Amino acid sequence: MFNHLSRALVANGFDASSIFNFHPLQLAAYVDLVWETLRVSGGGDPTSPRRQLDAAIGHVSAGRTSVGLTDLYLRPLGGPIGGVDNTVFVDAVTNVLASGPTWHHLIYAYLIENTRVHDIVERVLQEIVTGERLGQLSPESHRWARATEDLMFRDQGFFLSSLTSHVRKSAHATRRNAHWRMFALDLNHGEGDHAKYARAEAANTSFVATFEALLREVWRGYVNARNTSGPNAADDAAIAEYASRLHQMLGDRRERGNLTREEFVMTTMMSWFDLTVASDTPIVVDLQAQATTPEERLRKLASRVGATSHAKSRSLFELATRVSTLLIAIESGAYDVPTAARTLYDVNLGGFGANPVAADMVQIIIHWSQATGHEVKALPVVPNGTSNGASTMIAMS
Amino acid sequence: METVVVENGDSPPEARRTEQGDAAMIAMLRELLFEQRDVITRLLEHQQQQHQHHQQHARSTPTDPGPAAELIAQYRRIQRALGLID
């Protein structure tokens, strides 16, 4: 969700990094406001399957049409900081809300967290608040540090910290529990208390096998899409079957709003970290981690605090937004029928190179193979429908 | 065109006749082979032309997206809602 606000600032003539100048209260208000707006606005394309919470629960401005929670939230702070004041903030938030935003699929949070960006930022913050080993930081970096600590790492703090309580004490465990339930996957890192979590009985243990079977069939379709002679091995019915299975199993975990709040909080949190390394932001510059790619900035940040980022971070960053978009589309049920299959693999459908769905699928297949070490460009195999195990699918190094 | 010389005793009848030097049969076979080669050459040329035509068509003429148009539009809407595109 923070990428929306950053884009809105850019559209209004401000730098993308201006987002890091806002007060934590403003940013927390923004997140809560977007959540409330989306939660109570009901269903509708493209995200209706993910809006199953009862709109009446906790709707503090129910029955009002214009002024209410929104108005209260958007007026907390005044004076300009770092060139952006509350008017800039309100304008940007208004633009975001008017654009019909939605949050990423949970897979986005899983893939971004596997780069280890969360733990690396935690280490950076520890260094900043406990010593001066990282040198003098600019006022902008100090604001980023305060906002990051307040929003992401403070127990019982703002909305983004709301997934911990007496009944689920660890944010790490809460995130791992959600990944387990939705994908039957664990993160590729972490040890000790960070790696402990409750494994629910209800989990999509065949997610990876089914998803990879879909990728294999799509790749076969892509290879055969423009055949003018010889057999065409594309199997549209198989693609529809795998898409339908994914639709059903992901939907099973979302019954009556299950995991919706977790998904919103986790993807929003990861979008903050994603944004932190997406460009040469103040903290990146102050820690001399400037680079041309997110994965390289992350690698340099990690080296400053004695940590290591994931060796496949490039593929994980490339996958995150694409797989998120794909799974949201699949969960809409649009690909449950064989007639839809061609859209997933024919890049020239509608014109030369005009199909963004198939173009993204090719990138997903390439980077999924690289990140997981699973060769999904091999001949299709039939998943057994039971389990691929409970372990991480992303290689450890 | 080379004639086929078969040395062992299990040769097929055509080969045995070839070995026997049946000049008429050789001439007829040769004629047939030439004719077949012409047919195959023409077929290959036709197939190549068709292939080139298909390739040009695929590059220059948009394929009718049919039901895909709405799927592509939906995908764009999701990308927009996620803040990935304007």
Nearest CA of chain B to the CA of A88: how many Å?
Answer: 19
Mean pLDDT (whole number) for A69-75: 52
ipTM of the shown complex: 0.83
Nearest chain B Cα distance for residue A128, angstroms: 31
Using the 8-state DSSP alphabet, how is residue A82 labeled?
Answer: T
Residue B48 lies in a domain: yes
Q: Which amino acid is at A356?
A: P
Subunit contact B65:A350, Cβ cutoff 8 A: yes
For residue B7, being part of any structural domain is answered with no
Q: Is the pLDDT of residue A64 over 50?
A: no
SS3 (DSSP) at A64: coil
Which comes out higher in pLDDT, residue B72 or A194? B72
C-alpha pair distances (Å), A18 with each of A69, A90, A99, A269, A298 = 25, 14, 20, 17, 20
For residues A87 and B68, what is the distance between their CA atoms, to the nearest angstrom?
42
Instruction: Convert the pLDDT of each residue in B14-23 to its tens digit.
Output: 555 555 666 6
How many other β-carbons are positioned within 10 Å of the β-carbon of residue A220? 21
Residue located via tokens 């593929």:
A315
Cβ–Cβ of A321/B84 closer than 8 Å? yes
For chain A, the residue count is: 397
Cβ contact, residue pair A228, B51, below 8 Å = yes
Phi and psi at residue A149, to the nearest 5°: -65, -45
Give the residue among A48, A110, A314 at the shortest CA–CA distance from B81. Answer: A48
Nearest residue, CB atoms, A102 vs list B50, B76, B81: B81
Closest Cα of chain B to A58: distance in Å? Answer: 25
Backbone angles phi, psi at A164, to 5 degrees: -120, 145
How confident is the model at residue A152, as a pLDDT? 87
The minimal CB distance from A350 to the residues B51, B72, B83 is found for: B72
Could you list the residue range(s) of the whole structural domain that residue B22 is in? 13-81
A355 touches chain B (CB under 8 A): yes
Q: Which pLDDT belongs to residue B13?
A: 60
Is A335 an interface residue toward B (CB < 8 Å)?
A: yes
Contact B63 A351 (CB under 8 A): yes
Distance from CA of A230 to the nearest CA of B (A): 12
Instruction: Please indicate, yes or no, if residue B8 is contained in any of the structural domains.
Output: no
Q: Searching chain A, which residue's CA lies closest to the CA of residue B47?
A: A229
Which H helix or E strand runs over A221? helix A207-224
Q: Tens digit of pLDDT for each residue in A255-267?
A: 877 888 889 889 9
The pLDDT of residue A167 is 76
- Looking at chain A, the whole-number percentage of residues with pLDDT higher than 70 is 79
Cα B66 to its chain centre, rounded Å, is: 29
Q: For the CA atoms of chain B, what is the radius of gyration?
A: 29
- Contact residues, chain B, for A229 at CB < 8 Å: 47, 51
Instruction: Tell me, yes or no, if A226 comes closer than 8 A to chain B by beta carbon.
Output: yes
Sequence-distant (≥ 6) Cβ neighbours of residue A289 within 8 angstroms: A297, A300, A301, A304
Residue B3 lies in a domain: no
| Interface-testing mutation among A102, A322, A323, A343, with chain B (most B C-beta atoms within 10 A) | A343
* Shortest CA distance from B64: residue in chain A: A350
Contacts of B84 in chain A (CB under 8 A): 321, 325
According to the model, what pLDDT value does residue A246 have? 95
Q: How confident is the model at residue B42 (pLDDT cuts 50, 70, 90)?
A: low
The reply to whether residue B78 touches residue A321, judged by beta carbons under 8 angstroms, is no
Mean pLDDT of A292-310: 96
Least confident of A202-211, A251-260, A289-298, B45-54: B45-54
**How many structural domains are present in chain B?**
1
Cβ contact (<8 Å) for B68 and A340? yes
Q: Please state, for a pLDDT cut of 90, what percent of chain A lies above it.
A: 43
Instruction: Take residue A215 and report the two structure tokens written for it.
Output: 């990728």
From the list A104, A226, A339, which residue is nearest B82 (CB)? A104
A389 pLDDT tier (thresholds 50, 70, 90): very low
pLDDT (tens digit, 9 = 90+) per residue, A202-249?
889 999 999 999 999 999 999 887 666 666 677 899 999 999 999 999
Q: How far apart are CA A35 and CA A103, in angstroms?
A: 9
A192 against B7, higher pLDDT: A192
CB contact at 8 A, A365 and A218: yes
- Closest chain B residue to A329 measured between Cα atoms? B75
Q: Does some domain include residue B51?
A: yes
**Cβ separation of A356 and B50 shorter than 8 Å?**
no
b or e along B3-35 (b: 16 or more beta carbons within 10 Å of the residue's beta carbon)?
A: eeeeeeeeeeeebeebeeeeeeeeeebeeeeee
Task: Say if residue A46 is preceded by a cis peptide, omega within 30 of 0.
Answer: yes
Judge contact between A127 and A134, C-beta under 8 A.
yes
pLDDT 10s digits, A348-381: 888 888 899 999 999 999 999 999 988 888 765 5
Residue range A160-185: mean pLDDT, rounded:
83
Q: Which two tokens stand for residue B1?
A: 């065109």
pLDDT tens digits, A309-321: 999 999 999 999 9
Task: Say if CB A320 and CB A181 are below 8 A apart.
Answer: no
Chain B 18-77, residues with CB within 8 Å of chain A CB atoms: 47, 50-51, 54-55, 58-60, 62-63, 65-69, 71-72, 74-77
Cβ pair A109, A323 in contact under 8 A: no
Select from B50, B55, B72, B75 the residue whose CB has the most chain A CBs within 10 Å, as the one to mutate to test that interface. B75
Query: B23 lies in a domain?
Result: yes
- Chain A residue numbers with beta carbons less than 8 Å from the beta carbon of B83 are 3-4, 7, 99, 101
Task: Answer yes or no: is B71 within a domain.
Answer: yes
Residue A73 — very low, low, confident or very high, per pLDDT cuts 50/70/90? low
| Number of residues written out for chain B | 86
Residue B40 lies in a domain: yes
> What does the pLDDT read at residue A67?
41
Count helices and strands (H / E) in chain B: 3, 0
